Amino acid sequence: MGEKSKNFFSSILLFVLAGLCEIGGGYLVWLWLREDFSWMLGAIGGFVLFLYGIVPTFQKTHFHRIYAAYGGVFIVMAILWGWLIAGVPPDTYDIIGTIIAVIGVAIIFYYPRKGEKV
């Protein structure tokens, strides 16, 4: 496997891990505050959200690109979370919006820039 392929797959893994931390942590806080679960669940959710702040620092590019691209990844993961965890299947507009977001991620994060090495 080439270096570019390795970097691509590790960046995808980091995006997914960050997404799980953000959505999972947020969901635990949601359960605590909205569904009357234990405050301990909210505290665990807060810690998982803290981990979300750490995971993106392992990406090998500039802060602004990571967070801009992550917005699109978050859209994909939120739609999947709603479908797989909450049981709400995506509709046509969810799917169209998600495809547009993924195209944006690909352009922002993966399009090569002249003279830039990461």
Say what the pLDDT of residue 78 is.
94
pLDDT tens for 3-56 read 777 788 998 999 999 999 999 999 999 999 999 999 999 999 999 999 999 999
Please state, rounded to an integer, the average pLDDT across all residues of the chain: 91
Say what the pLDDT of residue 61 is.
84
Alpha carbon distances (Å) from 106 to 12, 32, 45, 80, 88: 11, 35, 30, 19, 27
pTM of the model: 0.80
Domain edges within the chain: 3-110
At 100, list the tokens.
Answer: 């547009």
Say what the pLDDT of residue 95 is.
97
Q: What is the average per-residue pLDDT within 99-105?
A: 93
Given a contact cutoff of 8 angstroms between Cβ atoms, the answer to whether 23 and 74 are in contact is yes
The three-class DSSP label of residue 75 is helix
Say what the pLDDT of residue 117 is.
64
pLDDT above 90: residue 69: no
